[in-house]
Each structure stands twice: as structure tokens, then as C-alpha cells.
């Protein structure tokens, strides 16, 4: 299996269809991991299994875990409205924390506004991002349907700060990253000279171009974090234990409430097996953690060239379960 996985990944790399790092584990042990292609094409620095990448919306998984930790401490109720946190927000008396977690709120996605480019090119605070959508009408009545919205997780990040008295970054560091020794995971402000963060690239017709400087911190609790495949494997394994959360809370996260969304994840089936998916994409990077919980098989792939990884993860699943 290891040789077949390596051959498949190498072939993708040669076709310029995958450029990043990967890790496949079963029963908590890595079957195979590594890196292919370049972390920095200009300086000829290769990707390795300890290369750091921005993971986009996998940040939402950390946000959801944090909210569930506060729930376990009885500091919030999942079905309370957001009015006590955002009294200035006219819609807050209709929207519950549950709605935000599972993308059932109707809050418009700030990515879909005229300010989309500002989210990457101008330094913004979470409060300034909130201002983008605060006065816009809901797209639907909360709880009536689902629609993916980054705005939901901007609000959840602010709730974490209001309850904990810590910044979002401080809370995640203290309550998730440090307990799991995820030393290669963090936030844009943590990056220092000499770090191993891969450069992000995108295709311009047939030419590969380094992405312009963007403010990833603007994505806040919806998508600002970076990580490695090994650190994400540590997070995966922690969700089989009570290190971060009790089993009941983890089970709540991994239910499909507003199809296909759980809390900080999506739920689905592949090869007649249920999976929990953490995925992310931002300019120049894509990431995916595909967890077959019952089989205790996890597939982690991260790319530093904008490219959808769903087909890659599905083919790796077929190899692992020998159903090609």
C-alpha cells in the first residue's frame, strides 16, 4: 500500500496536479508521509512532511472545538441566541450559536460582497469584517436551510473572545495547540524569519505565479491558521480521546445538522463508509483532512498551488481500502 500511495502521489506531482505534503494514517500510526514539489520554486526549496502551509477553513475546526470547550464549561448554550454577544446586531435575536456552527444562520458570506478584495489586500480587524455584513439582511430564516458562510465563524471567533477574555489566537494556543504540542501550527503573527512556510502559487493561464502578499489574518477564526500534516494528524488523533473534548461533545460536532454541515466540518459517505471532512482553501493553498472515524483511517493532503484536492483524497481512499 505504501508503495502504491507514493507512486500515485509522485505521478500527480510530475503532472503538476499535486504540489505539497501528505500523510495517511491508520489506528493512529502513519502509514506513509512526505512532500512533493516545491515549497519555494524561486529558491528551489522542496516540500517536506514538516513544511508549513496555510490551511484556510480548517481553522474553522479549531474554532468549533473552542466553542465546544466553552459549552462544556457551561459558559454558553449552543441554542441560545447571539443577542447577549452582539446587541448592536439587529439579526442577533434570531441566530443561535448552533446556527453559526453548522452554517444554518442565513448570515451572508462577506466573501460575496463588494468588499471581497479588501478581505485580502487591506489589513482589517474582525470587527471591521463584521461591519461588512452587519447591516445586510439574512439570506434566509435561521434554521430553515444551509449555506456556507465565512461570516458565521467571524462571529464565533468574537464570541470566544468575549467569553474567555482572551484574544482568539491566545485561546487557541492555550487550549488546543499547547495541549497537543502542535508547535508547527499557528497564526500569521507567529511567523518569523527562517520559518518553513511554503509560498503559495496559482496558475495564470499556463504559467505558475507566486501569489501577491495577502493579509491572511483578516480571515481570523474562519481561515487564518497555518499547520503541517503531522500537526493535523495530532489533532485527528486527539479527537479519538478526551484530551480536548468529551466524547459527547465530539459526537455533537460530527453530526450533519444542515446537510452536509456539522460543527467545523462536513459529513458524508464514500466507499460505503462514513467520513468527517475538514477542508480549506485560500489564495495559493488548499488543504484537506479526510477522517474515516469508524475505520480509524485518516488522509491528510495540503497543497501550495490552488487545486481542488477532493479527487486526490478519493483516490487515496480507494488505495487504502483496496477498492480501486
What is the pLDDT, as a whole number, of residue 194? 58
Residue 249: partners with Cβ closer than 8 Å, 6 or more residues away: 68, 71, 72
Among candidates 178, 158, 195, which has minimal Cα distance to 76? Answer: 158
What is the rounded average pLDDT of the residues 42-50? 94
pLDDT > 90? residue 121: no
- Tally the domains of the chain: 1
Q: Is 60 or 3 the better-scoring residue by pLDDT?
A: 60
Per residue in 153-169, is it b (16+ CB within 10 Å) or e — as a string?
bbbbbbbbbebbeeebb
Using pLDDT thresholds of 50, 70 and 90, give the confidence band for residue 212.
confident
**Is the confidence at residue 252, as pLDDT, over 80?**
yes
- What residues pair up with 69 in beta bridges, in sequence order? none
Written in H, E and C, the secondary structure of 130-151 is HHHHCCCCCCCCCCCCCCCCHH
User: Has residue 204 got a pLDDT over 80?
Assistant: yes
Q: Look up the domain containing 257 and give its range.
A: 2-320
Q: Return the C-alpha cell found at 239.
A: 479527537
Model pLDDT for residues 124-144, shown as the tens digit of each residue: 999 999 999 999 999 999 999
User: Tens digits of per-residue pLDDT, 286-310?
Assistant: 999 999 999 999 999 999 998 889 9
Q: Are strands 201-204 and 207-210 parallel, antiparallel or unpaired?
A: antiparallel
**CATH code at position 8:** 3.40.710.10
Q: What are phi and psi of 38, to 5 degrees?
A: -115, 135
Check residue 114 and give its pLDDT.
73
Give the mean pLDDT of the chain.
Answer: 93
Amino acid at each position: 500500500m505504501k508503495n502504491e500511495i507514493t507512486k500515485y502521489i509522485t505521478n500527480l506531482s510530475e503532472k503538476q496536479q499535486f504540489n505539497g505534503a501528505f500523510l495517511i494514517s491508520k489506528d493512529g500510526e502513519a502509514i506513509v508521509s512526505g512532500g512533493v514539489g516545491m515549497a519555494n520554486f524561486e529558491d528551489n526549496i522542496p516540500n517536506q512532511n514538516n513544511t508549513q502551509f496555510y490551511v484556510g477553513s480548517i481553522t474553522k475546526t479549531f474554532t468549533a472545538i473552542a466553542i465546544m470547550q466553552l459549552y462544556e464549561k457551561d459558559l454558553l448554550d449552543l441554542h441560545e441566541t447571539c443577542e447577549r454577544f452582539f446587541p448592536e446586531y439587529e439579526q442577533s435575536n434570531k441566530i443561535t450559536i448552533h446556527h453559526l456552527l453548522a452554517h444554518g444562520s442565513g448570515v451572508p458570506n462577506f466573501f460575496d460582497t463588494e468588499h471581497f478584495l479588501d478581505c485580502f489586500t487591506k489589513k482589517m480587524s474582525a470587527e471591521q469584517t463584521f461591519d461588512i455584513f452587519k447591516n445586510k439582511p439574512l439570506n434566509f430564516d435561521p434554521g430553515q436551510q444551509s449555506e456556507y458562510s465565512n461570516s458565521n465563524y467571524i462571529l464565533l471567533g468574537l464570541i470566544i473572545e468575549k467569553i474567555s477574555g482572551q484574544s482568539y489566537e491566545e485561546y487557541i494556543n492555550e487550549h488546543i495547540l499547547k495541549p497537543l504540542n502542535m508547535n508547527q501550527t499557528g497564526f500569521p503573527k507567529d511567523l518569523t524569519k527562517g520559518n518553513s512556510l511554503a509560498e503559495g502559487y496559482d496558475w495564470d493561464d499556463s504559467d505558475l505565479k507566486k501569489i501577491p502578499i495577502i493579509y491572511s489574518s483578516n480571515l481570523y477564526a474562519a481561515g487564518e491558521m497555518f499547520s503541517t500534516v503531522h500537526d493535523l494528524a495530532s489533532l485527528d488523533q486527539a479527537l479519538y480521546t478526551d484530551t480536548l473534548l468529551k466524547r459527547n461533545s465530539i459526537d455533537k460536532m460530527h453530526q450533519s445538522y444542515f446537510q452536509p454541515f456539522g460543527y467545523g466540518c462536513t459529513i458524508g459517505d464514500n466507499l460505503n463508509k462514513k467520513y468527517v471532512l475538514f477542508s480549506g482553501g485560500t489564495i495559493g493553498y488548499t488543504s484537506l483532512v479526510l477522517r474515516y472515524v469508524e475505520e480509524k483511517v485518516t488522509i491528510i493532503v495540503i497543497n501550495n498551488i490552488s487545486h481542488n484536492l477532493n479527487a486526490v483524497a478519493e483516490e487515496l481512499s480507494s488505495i487504502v481500502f483496496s477498492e480501486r
